[in-house]
Amino acid sequence: MNLAEIQRRMYVAVVQPLTPGEHMQPRTRDGKSMHDAAAEFIKPNDRLSSFERLEIYNRQYWFRVLGALAEDFSGLRAILGVRKFEVLCKAYLVDCPSESFTLRNLGARLESWLLDHPQWIRPRAGLALDMVRLEWAEIEAFDAAAEPAWAPRDALGTDPDPQFRLQPYVQLLKLRYPVDDLLLAVRQEHSDGAMASNAISARKRARVRKAARQKPQSVFLAVHRMDYSVYFKRLDAEAFAFLNSLRDGNSLSAAVITAFAGRDVPESKILGTVQSWFESWSTLGWFCRPQSVDAKSISS
């Protein structure tokens, strides 16, 4: 048996779900004795059998990946409840086991998987999907690339209609529920160690019910980072459309037209609004510095 075959067998055994008592399955997926299968590529020692040695890795894999999902998707866990969330995670990991060297990518396929398996998040599917999108965007915003930031003093060349590039870590979300407020509230209550755990659970359930009862509405959100921390910033519809247009590679004028299309807004007000956006967003570092510039700065 070569190394590749040993690795393949090890992987298949490790990702196989545990029993209800959180032990390794007695048989492989094709019905073979797991004791016999383990003995084929793992040696026993003076304390543990081949099965027992393999079981350590099997259990630790599942404990670790379930713990990682619970940490990354605490908002979804609050919406579904602890038991339902754990059952969902086990089903997800059976279909989408870890394929990366880092646990950071473990939830990358969760939203698409839930869209194909909505039974796991009913009757709060809309709220749950919004929360998954927000929590994954938070992961992306935390460690996505950052380029040197543009500032108003930076030159933009002679292009009268420049293009502005958004930082890769800035995530733009259109949601149907105010899950940003819900997630912050859940985390605040979870961190309040002075409260009894049952009181925290009761308040958490009440907040989830309140959020679920709200009629779907458009919530525009930017998820970004600053000083190694992630923040949520609400946007109005025009600002959201403007930023999305810039992200799509459109010029400044095209983004303005997209943002205010169909709206009877005086040109002077549009100019003032766009200028205030740039003042705010450039302070937050959302724009990338142009790759090539000369000495001429952009005019008003």
Q: Domain for residue 240, yes or no?
A: yes
Q: Domain for residue 95, yes or no?
A: no
pLDDT score, position 178? 95
What residues pair up with 235 in beta bridges, in sequence order? 220
Cα angle 65, 187, 211 (rounded to 5 degrees) comes to 105
Q: Domain for residue 97, yes or no?
A: no
pLDDT score, position 298? 41
Q: Domain for residue 248, yes or no?
A: yes
Sheet containing strand 171-175, strands side by side = 171-175, 219-226, 229-235
Q: Domain for residue 103, yes or no?
A: no
For residues 276 and 244, give the distance between their C-alpha atoms in angstroms, rounded to a whole number. Answer: 17
**Number of domains composing the chain:** 1
Q: Domain for residue 292, yes or no?
A: yes
pLDDT score, position 153? 66
pLDDT score, position 21? 95
Token digits for 191? Answer: 């961190």
Helix (H, G, I), strand (E, B) or coil at 195: coil
- How far, in whole angstroms, is CA 60 from its chain's centroid? 24
For residues 276 and 26, give the distance between their C-alpha atoms in angstroms, rounded to a whole number. Answer: 65
Q: Domain for residue 107, yes or no?
A: no
* 160: Cα within 13 Å, side-chain hemisphere: 0
The domain of 298 spans 145-171+233-300
Q: Is there a contact between 126 and 115 (Cβ–Cβ < 8 Å)?
A: no
Give pLDDT tens digits for 131-152: 999 999 999 999 999 999 987 6
Residue type, 77: R
pLDDT score, position 192? 59
pLDDT score, position 216? 87
pLDDT score, position 156? 56
Q: Give the residues of the chain that fall short of pLDDT 50.
A: 194, 293-300
Q: Is there a contact between 107 and 98 (Cβ–Cβ < 8 Å)?
A: no
